[in-house]
Amino acid sequence: MRQESSALNSHHVQLLVSVRNREEIRPALAGGCDILDFKEPAHGALGMIDAETLHSISEFFQTDPLDIPVSLALGELTDWSESQPAPLLPPAITYLKMGLSHTAEMPHWYSIWQDLINRIEDTNQTAYHWIAVAYADWEQADAISPQDVLTAAIESESAGLLIDTYFKQGRNLLDHLQLDELSALIEQAQSHGLKIALAGSLQQRDLAILSSISPDIIGIRSAACRGHLRTDCIQEQAIRDFRRQLDQQSVLSRSGGHIG
């Protein structure tokens, strides 16, 4: 299992944009994303795209190779059965992640998680960068607590930790975890060489407060979409606007709140 890459090791906060198909790739790139993420928002927080879409993006990458990292959501751990064959993934994929909802009552969730990781890597003959996923609304999602997920991420030498929200009905990351809780998780993760990504219905108005705790990556879907509806199509201008605000807040944070 690979642990880090330069994309997760930059001095500025990077922007991850989640797209659902081949058609959304170009507006995401033109808008200024640093990491291109694939997921199907209609299938949940980390819904996996279907086999047809996987094939379509594989064809895209064969003719238009990217110079930025690509990540893929694999759904929830509980979506996978022990007998389910691992999919063949596009060679362009670098980062993989899966959610841990409905695992709170699974005493052996860690070994099941690791077994699935090994199965996917064996099938694809690739050592991926794995991103552990903690849900800020973990109690409602019947998931492992963020602290326990971070502990597992450190133990498994994951590349990073994503803190997201499982439910997407009107509340965002900051409605579930206090800033000091997020800051403590970030500090602990970074002290162990992990990178932290924050997501969960984040909007431009959240960037000022989030920049103060120095995450490595901010991930968006709804903020990139028309009308901020995560199941609608993404818009290049919405991503550009978010990118501009993110860069401005990063500069302000590094300069102590002022420039010059």
Q: Where are the domains of the chain?
A: 6-254
Interatomic CA distance for residues 142 and 173, integer angstroms: 17
Q: What is the mean pLDDT of the chain?
A: 92
* pLDDT tens-digit series, residues 26-44: 999 999 999 999 999 999 9
Task: Give the pLDDT confidence score for residue 3 in this predicted structure.
Answer: 44
For residue 257, is pLDDT > 90?
A: no
Residue indicated by tokens 């500090």: 187
The token pair at 32 is: 């200024």
Interatomic CA distance for residues 198 and 173, integer angstroms: 8
Task: Give the pLDDT confidence score for residue 155 in this predicted structure.
Answer: 97
Nearest to 175 by CA among 201, 195, 149, 150: 201
Mean pLDDT within 149-157: 98
Nearest to 18 by CA among 173, 221, 166: 221
For residue 11, is pLDDT > 70?
A: no
Percentages of the chain per state (helix, strand, coil), in multiples of 5? 40, 20, 40
The token pair at 87 is: 């999919």
The token pair at 43 is: 């299938």
* pLDDT tens-digit series, residues 198-255: 999 999 999 999 999 999 999 999 999 988 888 899 999 999 999 999 999 877 766 6
Interatomic CA distance for residues 176 and 137, integer angstroms: 6
Q: What percent of the chain has pLDDT over 70?
A: 93
Nearest to 243 by CA among 34, 2, 4: 34
pTM exceeds 0.95, yes or no = no
- Which residues are bridge partners to 183 per DSSP? none
Nearest to 214 by CA among 178, 245, 252: 252
For residue 123, is pLDDT > 70?
A: yes
The token pair at 139 is: 């109690």
Q: What is the dotted CATH code of the domain comprising 6-254? A: 3.20.20.70
Task: Give the pLDDT confidence score for residue 128 in this predicted structure.
Answer: 98
Task: Give the pLDDT confidence score for residue 10 in this predicted structure.
Answer: 44
| Cα distances (Å, whole numbers) of residue 136 to 145, 179, 201, 253 | 8, 12, 12, 24
Which DSSP letter does residue 91 get?
A: T
For residue 9, is pLDDT > 60?
A: no
* pLDDT tens-digit series, residues 64-99: 999 999 999 999 999 999 889 999 999 999 999 999
The number of beta carbons lying within 10 Å of the beta carbon of residue 88 is 13
Task: Give the pLDDT confidence score for residue 4 in this predicted structure.
Answer: 46
